Amino acid sequence: MTQTHIQSTDRTTPVFPSLGLALSFWLKLGFISFGGPAGQIAIMHQELVEKRRWISEQRFLHALNYCMLLPGPEAQQLAIYIGWLLHGIRGGIVAGVLFVLPSLLMLIGLSWLYIAYGQTSLVAGLFYGIKPAVTAIVLQAAYRIGGRTLTNTSLWAIAIAAFTALFIFHLPFPLIIFCAALLGYFGGRFLPQHFQMRAGHAPKSPAATYGAAVIDDNTPTPEHARFRWSSLGRVLLVGILLWSLPMLSLIYLFGWQHSLTQMAWFFTKAALMTFGGAYAVLPYVMQAAVVDYGWLSAGQMIDGLALGETTPGPLIMVLIFVGFVAAYMQALFGPEQLFLAGTVAAIVVTWFTFLPSFIFILAGGPFIESTHQQFNLTAPLSAITAAVVGVIVNLTLFFAYHVLWPQGFNAEFDAWAAGIALFSALALIGFKWNVIWVIVLAASTGLLIQLSLT
């Protein structure tokens, strides 16, 4: 992430923002948070640290380091943390909800357009070009994370082992993550120099100063953010109730085997395994959604990832597309209520995917604010991130197979799709083009190819 940092000479402390002012900012952020976690964190750093000075650089990085250790979307968790630090639990909830709400509404609309009109020549042509571009985007993710993570032979070995476990032995994703964490734990004890985690999305100018901040380096912890066992107990109790009551309601209304109930259960598990970003958990979701549950096809999953890339918010929002399409195609509420079924499923998926993030921040935030000690979790996280690289490479091959041989290996190789994929990979990795522009060009090319062939 490249930023131009200007040393500030204004040492006056800015006015403490009202909840209404903060609300307007979080809503704005929800509409402009493109670019994945790195871009989203860059926007928050620029707006909250540099311009508005609501939080100092040191406190911002301290919160970010905690969020990077958690499963789930770290950019959204960072928004929850800062909103909570400023305005308590209300502020954290507002920040976290508004971070994903615009994306939720956009994806519900785009998912409906996709599933209702996806067979038209226009939409089919656009997605013909988008699919190979998405394959290149996933390859770029492996390249980017691998370049940051695989710094020695131990981490390379873990990445290769994770790829082999998935590609050859088809071992379950949770088992791979668990084994990687164990390797990281013991590796951190016996080879600590091989398991040092780099800062992935943190701003690269810790020495920069932008003037006094509302929450400054030496600002005492706000009263609401002080650690108390009673507060921790209340947050955990409410969190458990907010998870269990909707789950029990789904079981009571529809039964355990119903698709909505299974979505709630599965996406809760997925939310707890998203170490290393959304790309890490996509193979797990792909396996379950396409193979185990049959909610949608591999091609539809690739299309959903493309829609997720072109909307604001965390990439894990692609799971909303999975829920909407699955419920719509299964006509869960009957053939007359297809849109309602898809919308309800999208909301269910959103609730169970993002609820853990709120619990992690609101429960753990006070403890993080009470200490600046180094947690002994960096070694396991380094190993998990290394394993994620192998997982993403496996996902790339899975996508490439379905894009380049859409009818299987026994059918014809799609040279046009291969050309779009190669161009997209060169543009993203070689020339570092913006993802949105690559998708637009690929979609336009796909449409032209489809029109010329008809």
Whether 266 has a pLDDT exceeding 90, the answer reads yes
283 within some domain: yes
Residue 338 CA: distances (Å) to CA of 105, 262, 264: 17, 19, 19
35 within some domain: no
361 within some domain: yes
Rounded CA-CA distance 231/109 in Å is 39
pLDDT in tens, 87-139: 999 999 999 999 999 999 999 999 999 998 877 888 888 889 988 998 898 89
Rounded CA-CA distance 26/368 in Å is 23
Rounded CA-CA distance 434/427 in Å is 8
Other CB atoms within a 10 A radius of the CB of residue 92 amount to 23
pLDDT in tens, 185-194: 899 888 888 8
State the pLDDT at residue 1.
Answer: 38
Biggest alpha carbon–alpha carbon distance for the chain: 70
Other CB atoms within a 10 A radius of the CB of residue 436 amount to 12
**Helices first, then strands: H and E counts in the chain:** 16, 0
68 within some domain: no
Least confident among 15-19, 59-63, 224-228, 234-238: 59-63
State the pLDDT at residue 33.
Answer: 81
Check residues 338 and 205 and name the one with the higher pLDDT. Answer: 338
Other CB atoms within a 10 A radius of the CB of residue 138 amount to 22
> For 249, how many CA atoms within 13 A lie in the half-sphere containing its CB?
7
Domain count, the chain: 1
332 within some domain: yes
State the pLDDT at residue 324.
Answer: 96
Rounded CA-CA distance 318/309 in Å is 8
Single out the residue of 348, 392, 385, 309 nearest to residue 139, CA to CA.
392
Rounded CA-CA distance 446/389 in Å is 29
Rounded CA-CA distance 14/438 in Å is 40
State the pLDDT at residue 238.
Answer: 97
State the pLDDT at residue 11.
Answer: 59
Segment holding 262, helix H or strand E: helix 259-271
Whether 65 has a pLDDT exceeding 60, the answer reads yes
344 within some domain: yes
> Looking at beta carbons, which pairs linking 433-442 to residues 24 or more positions away fall under 8 Å?
435/35, 435/36, 435/137, 435/309, 436/34, 436/309, 436/310, 438/133, 438/136, 438/137, 439/130, 439/133, 439/134, 439/137, 439/306, 439/309, 439/310, 442/129, 442/130, 442/132, 442/133
Rounded CA-CA distance 387/385 in Å is 5
Q: How high is the mean pLDDT of the chain?
A: 87
Query: In the structure, what pLDDT confidence band is assigned to residue 207 with cuts at 50, 70 and 90?
Result: very low
Residue type, 308: G
Rounded CA-CA distance 103/89 in Å is 22
State the pLDDT at residue 10.
Answer: 56
Threshold 0.75, pTM exceeds: yes
20 within some domain: no
pLDDT in tens, 345-388: 999 999 999 999 999 999 999 988 876 444 456 788 788 888 88
Are the beta carbons of 306 and 131 closer than 8 angstroms?
A: yes
Name the residue range of residue 350's domain.
101-198+228-453
Query: In the structure, what pLDDT confidence band is assigned to residue 8 with cuts at 50, 70 and 90?
Result: very low
CA dihedral 202, 394, 73, 207 (to 10 degrees): 0
Whether 222 has a pLDDT exceeding 70, the answer reads yes
Q: What is the DSSP string of 77-108?
A: HHHHHHHHHHHHHHHHHHHHHHHHHHHHHHHH
State the pLDDT at residue 3.
Answer: 41
Single out the residue of 92, 142, 209, 147 nearest to residue 400, CA to CA.
142
Query: In the structure, what pLDDT confidence band is assigned to residue 6 with cuts at 50, 70 and 90?
Result: very low
Positions of E strands within 210-293: none
SS3 assignment, position 55: strand
442 within some domain: yes
State the pLDDT at residue 282.
Answer: 80
